Amino acid sequence: MNAKNKNQTIDLPSVSEMYRALCDRNCQYEGVFFVGVRTTGVFCRPTCPARKPKLKNVDFYSNANDALAAGFRPCKKCRPLEVFGAAPEWLNPLLKQVEHDPSRRWSDSDLRKMNVEPTRVRRWFQQNHGMTFHSYLRSRRLSTALGQIRVGEKTTGAAFKNGYDSLSGFRDAFKKWFGDTPASSRDQGGPISVNRILTPLGPMVAAAGDDGLYLLEFADRRLLETQLKRVKRVSQRAFVPASNPIIEQAEKELAEYFDGNRREFSLPIELIGTKFQEAVWKQLMKIPYGQTVSYDSLAREIGHDGAQRAVGRANGDNRFAIVIPCHRVIRSDGSLSGYGGGLWRKRWLLDHEQKRLF
């Protein structure tokens, strides 16, 4: 068994670590390694649902190109050449229809006419958006209606344009989702859009209003739900599954970062933290691309010498992975410490930046 191909430049975890991740289908290792199975001739993601091979029959690679170069073909079950987290092929026709007409109301029979099983659709939306397909559609309609009301559309017009048959039904649904009536919401801040952004290290969740980015985290982070609740409580605004110009900007800048063409981000960020936390986060943004600092030095830089643990906690509370580069903070002895997105993501990000300094 091999843990590294001669053409690879990124160090991999130990063989035992990767094999354990493979057996556990650990999504935190998406983007860290691929596994070639000699008995079948295919290579897979760490999360492949296929039966797990014996350790003696596998080779590990840091990227798909090396696995292809070694003669393995991509697995048809886990599709390792596709971006992790992308919508499956069977769902894409339905998603296109939803984008074409967001106001349409879909029934289970409508889905079956497209040869799509409603239970399968429901399961995918719950796993990827935290709500059923029908809840997703309803939130999209209400979000669109709110946007129309805020630019002068009358409540009646917004209701009927977004598929509601009665004004009372629209008002009830609106108040239940946003916590206020359409008229009262006219002059208040709009909802915060929440959407996924696909990256080489797995999907990220972005939350942004018209005023700025409120959150950007890896979708599998354990604290993600807690962070979203904090943002919702502090902002006092409803969340809707949608994109907006700031999320689109985040997606563009992240793609440039992963391609090696961006070292700094220009996104408007809503920090929202204690005075100490905000001092730490602002100092993090001053760490140059490709460089690292220790918790000790970071504490000294903000005038709190000896507050390494508090600095570490503030790092853990950072809601903007990569954009506020807490991955660049390490121990004084040079070793890596915890990272909300997973220690191997931290290693990957540091290696990614180091390779592009020269």
CATH superfamily of 89-185: Homeodomain-like (1.10.10.60)
For 182, 293, 298, 345, the CA distances from 284, given in Å and listed in that order, are 41, 9, 8, 18
How high is the pLDDT of residue 302?
93
Residues sharing a CB contact under 8 Å with residue 6, sequence separation 6 or more, in sequence order? none
Of the chain, the percentage scoring pLDDT greater than 70 comes to 92
pLDDT of residue 7: 37
- Comparing CA positions, the residue from 112, 17, 16 lying closest to residue 347 is 17
Residue bearing the bigger pLDDT, 256 or 137: 256
Taking 60 as the threshold, does the pLDDT of residue 283 lie above it? yes
Q: Which residues belong to CATH 3.40.10.10 in the chain?
A: 15-74
Chain mean pLDDT for the chain = 85
Tens-digit pLDDT profile for residues 306-329: 888 999 999 999 999 999 999 999
CATH no. for 275-355: 1.10.10.10
CATH number for the segment(s) 192-258: 3.30.160
Give catalytic status of residue 326 as yes or no: yes
* Angle, CA of 187, 191 and 192, to the nearest 5°: 140
Predicted confidence (pLDDT) at residue 84 exceeds the cutoff of 70 = no
Region 212-218 average pLDDT: 94
pLDDT in tens, 23-75: 998 877 877 789 999 999 999 999 898 889 999 999 999 878 788 878 898 89
CA distance 71 to 212: 46
Of residues 40 and 344, more confidence is placed in 40
Q: Is there a catalytic annotation at residue 75?
A: no
260: left (phi over 0), alpha (psi -120 to 50) or beta: left
Whether the predicted pLDDT of 272 surpasses 70: yes
Phi-psi region at 130: left, alpha or beta (left = phi > 0; alpha = psi -120 to 50): left
Count other C-beta atoms under 10 Å from residue 173's C-beta. Answer: 18
Task: Give tens-digit pLDDT for 163-211.
Answer: 787 888 888 877 776 666 776 666 566 788 888 898 888 888 999 998 8
What pLDDT, on a 0 to 100 scale, did the predictor assign at position 267? 96
At 85 the pLDDT is 67
**Are the C-beta atoms of 282 and 318 separated by less than 8 Å?**
no
Residue among 257, 209, 251 nearest 234 (CA)? 209
Query: What integer pLDDT is reported at residue 81 of this predicted model?
Result: 78
The pLDDT of 215-238, averaged and rounded, is 84
Average pLDDT over residues 73-87: 80
Tell me where in the chain the CATH 3.30.160 domain(s) lie: 192-258
> Which class does domain 15-74 fall in?
alpha beta
**Residue range(s) in the chain whose domain bears CATH number 1.10.10.10:** 275-355
Average of per-residue pLDDT across 221-232: 83
Least trusted range by pLDDT, from 25-29, 258-262, 344-348: 25-29
Put residue 236 in one of left, alpha, beta given phi > 0 → left and psi -120 to 50 → alpha.
left
Catalytic residue among 44, 48, 75, 78: 44
| 228 — pLDDT class (breaks 50, 70, 90) | confident
**How do strand 34-37 and strand 58-61 relate by DSSP bridges?**
antiparallel
